[in-house]
């Protein structure tokens, strides 16, 4: 009983650590979306995560970021507590249970997900509660534990059903010793009916998805039919997002996984965890040793077999949290590694020595992962979007596109109430309730409807991503014009922010995938601004502005924007020699975080450069093949240009890349 009380300091240590390291400003990932849907009772992106949404809609009572982040922190701390009880029940060693629980708390991915508003810590909590209930069912032979496990598994499916299903093989292994008696019980009507009843209760949160109003906050809006419900929950809405996924992406995932696994604990402790795998098969009940292994394989190797996705840096960012439950096995194996070390000599089995070893493991993991997970000072993302929104003129209309832009701005406007005088719209009628077209409207029809809407407004209209011309560029956004020519205007406050961002980028303080993507987008936008400003020939750049412009041109994104502008010149022929020099330099410095689509765009531009007078067709075709290999999707213009050079009829369409 006294050992059980250890769960209190374990819970407190985890929760306090998460609280002091969580960001206090809006971040990227899905943070802005979840802050919106939790505060506004909306619908999360497919598959909907209704259980999490119900919880956070109740718990998020303040527009402040920390309120939402604390929801994940609470679920994370409760997961660590349940993990302690599970390991204590299995090993009967409170030192091992404590060490394993806190080790799991400080693994890189679990810690990262416990400090931002996300669904993954709740997913882990439900699976390990289910595991603990099944273990008690096997050990104590109590039907109540079985029914509890069925209820919780239903809830797990209502939260994140893909992770719940991927974890199912491990749960089957946990209950395997009683599989025959359980099968017999399930032939009894009352036991079967009660099992189905409690399991069905766990699925009732899905009713939340179909009871939302039409003007709901949500990526794809309200769900109004059974077909829409099934498509939403089954994630069919995302089928069009992975046209270029191939077997190479699965292999890339499998190459990435071992290093990502080692990153959770660090290399030295990963060796001890590997020892723990062996020792668990020697000393733990065989079905549990198998369960540990299946738990790791489920959300890692089984995941890659079931999903088709592009595994570039963007894909890594999306799937990095998916193995969060699997990494629980790493902590378990680390505990068994501690037992293995303790068995080497009598002196090592002393409780004091064992405790010191366990403490050193926990502290090693915590201090190894602290730099990457201490986000208490992260603010540049909110600074950027707040500056953008605040600088708009009164009563402006702002169009946004893509999750990376829509979610943070949506949070600032709809949750924090920043600039209530402006109107915020999404180009694709996603996320926000004021949709101008149905979500499934064909693109050409949507563009016509939006053009008509913009043309009939007497309010200033702005867009962060350029869709029309002519525009006035401000770097932060463009203002749409009905007549005239493109021009540019430099905002002093925006230039000051750009300097700070460039400093952080150069110092390596921006390293998360989506933050790097946003930084590259900002660099490209401001490079285009300076290029356009110089073309006006009205006022020369100051010395400070010239230095800032040269700094932008030193980045990959700056060079890409310079190439794009030069290729699009209509007042004169593009300078081929200059373009080849810039393209070569850009290729040599292409950062590893550049996603496949942007890599393909680079090779497509390189091909166009080779086709300038005098044309170098063979070299251009090589560049086009490189582009297609990087991004074999229908909207890659390289297909059209290649087929045109070869005299073939293109079957892939000729849509433009979007920046």
Chain length of the chain: 659
Burial class from Cβ neighbours inside 10 Å (0-12, 13-18, 19+) for residue 64 reads: middle
Read off the pTM: 0.90
Burial group, residue 481, by CB count within 10 angstroms (0-12, 13-18, 19+): middle
The band of 170, judged by pLDDT with boundaries at 50, 70 and 90, is very high
Rounded CA separation 437/426 (Å): 10
Structure-block tokens of residue 423: 């109107």
Compute the distance between CA of residue 583 and CA of residue 577 in angstroms, rounded to an integer.
10
What whole-number distance in Å separates Cα of residue 504 and Cα of residue 42?
35
pLDDT attached to residue 213: 82
Cα–Cα distance between 493 and 604 in angstroms, integer? Answer: 35
Contacts of 204 (CB under 8 A, 6+ apart): 158
pLDDT at 493 over 90: yes
**Mean pLDDT value across residues 504-519:** 92
In this model, does residue 659 exceed pLDDT 50? no
Q: How many CB atoms lie within 10 A of CB 640?
A: 17
- Residue 108 has, within 13 A of its CA and on its CB side, a CA count of 18
Give the integer Cα–Cα distance in Å for 411 and 211.
Answer: 23
What is 386-421 written as a DSSP string?
HHHHHTSPTT-EEEE-SHHHHHHHHIIIIIS---TT
Kindly report the average pLDDT of the chain as a whole number. Answer: 90
- Is the model more confident about 213 or about 524? 524
Provide the residue ranges of all domains of the chain, joining segments of one domain with +.
3-373, 380-488, 595-659
Quickly state the pLDDT bin for 349 (edges 50, 70, 90).
Answer: confident
Lowest mean pLDDT among 127-131, 304-308, 431-435: 304-308
Element at 478 (helix H, strand E): strand 478-480
- From CA 71, how far away is CA 19, in angstroms rounded? 10
Mean pLDDT of 303-315: 74
| Confidence band of 361 (pLDDT split at 50, 70, 90) | very high
Query: Does the pLDDT value for residue 126 go beyond 90?
Result: yes
Three-state SS for 309? coil
Q: Residue 136 pLDDT > 90, yes or no?
A: yes
Strands 487-488 and 397-400: unpaired
Give yes or no for residue 577 having a pLDDT over 60.
yes
Helices and strands of the chain, counted as H and E runs: 30, 6
pLDDT at 467: 74
Share of the chain above pLDDT 90, in %: 63
Instruction: Kindly state the percentage of the chain with pLDDT values over 70.
Output: 96
């Amino acid at each position: 009983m006294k050992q059980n009380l250890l769960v209190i300091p374990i819970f407190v240590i985890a929760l306090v650590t998460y609280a002091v390291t969580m960001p206090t400003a809006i971040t990227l990932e899905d943070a802005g979306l979840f802050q919106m849907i939790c505060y506004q009772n909306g619908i999360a992106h497919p598959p909907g995560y209704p259980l999490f949404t119900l919880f956070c809609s109740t718990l998020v009572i303040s527009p402040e970021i920390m309120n939402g982040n604390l929801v994940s922190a609470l679920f994370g701390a409760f997961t660590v507590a349940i993990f302690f009880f599970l390991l204590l029940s299995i090993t009967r060693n409170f030192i091992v249970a404590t060490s394993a629980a806190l080790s799991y708390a400080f693994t890189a991915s679990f810690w990262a997900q416990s400090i931002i508003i996300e669904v993954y810590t709740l997913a882990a909590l439900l699976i390990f509660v289910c595991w603990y209930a099944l273990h008690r069912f096997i050990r104590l032979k109590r039907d109540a534990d079985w029914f509890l496990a069925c209820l919780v598994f239903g809830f797990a499916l209502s939260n994140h059903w893909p992770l719940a299903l991927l974890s199912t093989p491990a749960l089957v292994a946990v209950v395997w010793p009683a599989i025959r008696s359980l099968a017999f019980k399930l032939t009894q009507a009352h036991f079967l009916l009660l099992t189905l009843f409690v399991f069905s209760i766990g699925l009732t949160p899905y009713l939340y998805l179909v009871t939302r109003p039409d003007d709901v906050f949500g990526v794809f809006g309200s769900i109004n039919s059974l077909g829409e419900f099934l498509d939403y929950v089954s994630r069919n809405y995302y089928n069009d997002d992975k046209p270029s996924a191939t077997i190479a992406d699965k292999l890339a995932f499998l190459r990435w996984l071992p290093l990502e696994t080692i990153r959770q604990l660090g290399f030295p402790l990963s060796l001890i965890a590997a020892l723990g795998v062996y020792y668990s098969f020697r000393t733990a009940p065989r079905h549990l040793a198998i369960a540990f292994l299946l738990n790791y394989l489920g959300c890692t190797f089984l995941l890659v077999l079931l999903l088709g996705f592009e595994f570039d840096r963007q894909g890594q960012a999306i799937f990095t949290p998916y193995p969060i439950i699997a990494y629980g096995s790493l902590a378990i194996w680390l505990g068994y590694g501690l037992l293995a070390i303790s068995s080497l000599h009598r002196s090592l089995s002393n409780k004091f020595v064992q405790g010191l070893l366990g403490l050193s493991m926990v502290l090693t993991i915590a201090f190894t992962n602290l730099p990457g997970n201490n986000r208490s000072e992260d603010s540049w993302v909110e600074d950027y979007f707040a500056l953008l929104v605040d600088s708009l003129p009164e009563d402006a209309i702002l169009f946004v596109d893509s999750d990376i832009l829509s979610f943070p701005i949506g949070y600032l406007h709809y949750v924090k109430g920043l600039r209530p005088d402006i109107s915020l719209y999404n180009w694709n009628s996603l996320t926000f309730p004021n949709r101008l077209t149905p979500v499934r409207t064909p693109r050409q029809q949507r563009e016509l409807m939006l053009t008509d809407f913009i043309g009939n407004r007497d309010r200033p209209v702005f867009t962060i991503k350029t869709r029309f011309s002519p525009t006035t560029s401000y770097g932060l956004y463009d203002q749409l014009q009905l007549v005239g020519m493109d021009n540019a205007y430099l905002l002093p406050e925006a230039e000051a922010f750009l300097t700070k961002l460039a400093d952080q980028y150069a110092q390596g303080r921006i390293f998360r995938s989506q933050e790097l993507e946003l930084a590259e987008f900002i660099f490209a936008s401001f490079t285009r601004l300076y290029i356009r400003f110089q073309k006006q020939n009205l006022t020369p750049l100051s010395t400070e502005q010239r230095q800032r412009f040269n700094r932008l041109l030193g980045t990959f994104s700056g060079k890409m924007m310079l190439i794009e502008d030069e290729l699009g010149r209509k007042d004169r022929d593009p300078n081929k020699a200059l373009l080849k020099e810039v393209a070569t330099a850009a290729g040599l410095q292409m950062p590893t975080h550049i996603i496949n689509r942007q890599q393909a765009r680079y090779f497509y531009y390189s091909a166009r450069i080779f086709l300038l007078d005098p044309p170098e067709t063979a070299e251009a075709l090589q560049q086009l093949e490189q582009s297609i290999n990087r991004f074999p999707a229908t909207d890659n213009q390289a297909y059209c240009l290649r087929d045109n050079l070869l005299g073939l009829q293109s079957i892939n369409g000729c849509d433009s890349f979007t920046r």
